[in-house]
Homo-oligomer: A and B are copies of this chain.
Amino acid sequence: MKTINIVAFDQFTDIDVFLPWDLFNRIRLIRDDWQVKIVGTQEKHVSMNGLEVATQGHIDECNEADIVLFASGKGARSLINDKGYLQHFDLNPQRQIICSMCSGALILASLGLLDGLTATTYPTVVEHLQALGVEVVFEPLVTHGNIATAAGCLAAVDLVGWCFERAIDKATSEAVLAYVAPVEKGVLSQ
């Protein structure tokens, strides 16, 4: 079974967990060998908008996952100063796809995963990410090998598409994204 872990925490940005959560889960409409989990350090985490979500695993599981996505939110800004939190992660971009939405890039940087790489992040986080030594570029999606950063919440579509293209193939990626495309005049997408 291939596993995708979305890392949530208290004060996560709703859309940056839930949009990838739905998009990643669409692979299960095509393939039965993938599972998606929202992972955290508590049984439940509360979003920026006050929504309570039950986690389905612990962040320790990320070290064995095939794809790890760090969500964003105010919570990320405090976690990067929490050595005990960061020590849970022993990620390896040689064998894992590792990515972030918006301010989740701060966690990637704090784990040393963006050393020497360019990255993108939410406009309000640019200076913070630069202060961690990362060269920020203004693109929706920036990839280097198995590492990707995406920014501007709707860029999750590009990010998830890229993950499936890299992990499986382009046709599968396109099939996944077709499930959520806006209906077009005269087109029955499925």
CB distance from A77 to the nearest CB of B (A): 17
CA of A107 to CA of B74 in the docked complex: distance in angstroms? 37
Residues of B within 8 Å of A139, CB to CB, are 183-185
How often does this chain occur in the complex, in copies? 2
A124, B190: Cβ atoms closer than 8 Å: yes
Q: Does A25 contact B (CB under 8 A)?
A: yes
Residues of B within 8 Å of A182, CB to CB, are 140-141, 150-155, 158
- Given contact pairs A18-B18, A126-B188, enumerate 18 new A-B contacts (beta carbons under 8 Å): A14-B25, A15-B19, A18-B21, A25-B49, A122-B183, A123-B188, A137-B185, A138-B186, A138-B188, A139-B184, A139-B185, A140-B183, A141-B182, A150-B182, A153-B182, A154-B180, A154-B181, A158-B182
Chain A positions within 8 Å of B, measured between CB atoms, are 13-15, 18-19, 21-23, 25, 36, 38, 49, 51-54, 120-124, 126, 137-141, 150-155, 157-158, 179-190
Residue contacts A-B, CB under 8 angstroms, 6 given: A14-B25, A15-B18, A138-B184, A139-B185, A152-B181, A154-B182
